[in-house]
Structure 1
């Protein structure tokens, strides 16, 4: 039995997606409102990207023991270019440095990143949450890769913090 006081079960919503949307202050449990708010948000500035909150959580996650284990396992530097609507336009650049365990806004300053990924904001969030396979995203053109393919193959949803740890 679903109660109105339990929004995680309302309309068959996945609790992980609801948790992320709540954290991003975009949680809307009615499909129509969600579509309207998402479209309105995308028309705004780049400061309102959904992926920005995920990368902020990633920054915190890399300071934990689980995050340090991922840093040792990966050992590459990724540059992430995130576009609000279309890849290549109005991109916001982030660097995830798995050599030092840092996430920062801006291009990599220590030379050249091992792999450079370009995404739409919505596709990056899907990949980070494990809702879209990065290899499938690449084949569909939802993700563009430049640089080392061996570094790119280690870019999986496993490197991102799990919703239960948020």
Structure 2
């Protein structure tokens, strides 16, 4: 899962941990997560140098994290933000709603699905 880490992106450490956590889930736990979320998130991050990277969190089909655009077709939601903002979300320093309302997070697609991202991040933090 180290292929999820990208130099210069602080958030990629957490994204890699997310990938490892999903890979370690039993089939039942994976199905539970998929049934809870039922969506594909495409996360687009920009670091301080202006470099952009994309990761996909598939909680609709396979229950895994991949680097790059969604390999299963169009994502249900695309979230665009700074690397720092995602780090704050992952650390629990802010919520998706606060980031969205302050303009730090842009969402395209099923906006209601974005509300489930906090729960996904908390699941990973609980497993770490």
Q: Structure 2 length normalisation: TM-score?
A: 0.81
Q: Secondary structure at the match of 2:117?
A: coil
**Out of 84, 101, 125, which is 2:47 matched to?**
84
1:26-78, Cα deviation, whole Å (9 max, x unpaired)? xxxxxxxxxxxxxxxxxxxx622111110110011113259623233101000
**SS in structure 2 of the partner of residue 80 of structure 1:** strand
Structure 1 position 54 matched with structure 2 position 14: yes
Query: Aligned residues, how many?
Result: 117
Q: RMSD across aligned C-alpha pairs, in angstroms?
A: 1.9
Normalized per residue, the structure richer in strand is 2
**Stretches of structure 2 lacking an aligned partner (at least 5 in a row):** 1-5
SS in 1 for 2:55: strand
Instruction: Check whether the contact 1:61–1:67 (CA below 8 A) recurs between aligned residues.
Output: no
Runs of 4+ in 1 over 3 A off after TM superposition: none
Equivalent in the alignment of 1:150: 112
Structure 1 or 2, whichever has the larger Rg, is: 1
Q: Residue in 2 aligned with 1:133?
A: 95
Instruction: Deviation per CA, 1:87-145: give whole Å up to 9, x if none.
Output: xx421000000021110100012221000001111110111121101101001111110
Higher relative contact order, structure no. (Cα contacts within 8 Å, ≥ 6 residues apart): 2
Quote the Cα distance in structure 2 between the aligned partners of 1:70 and 1:125. 22
Residue 73 (structure 1) aligns with: 36
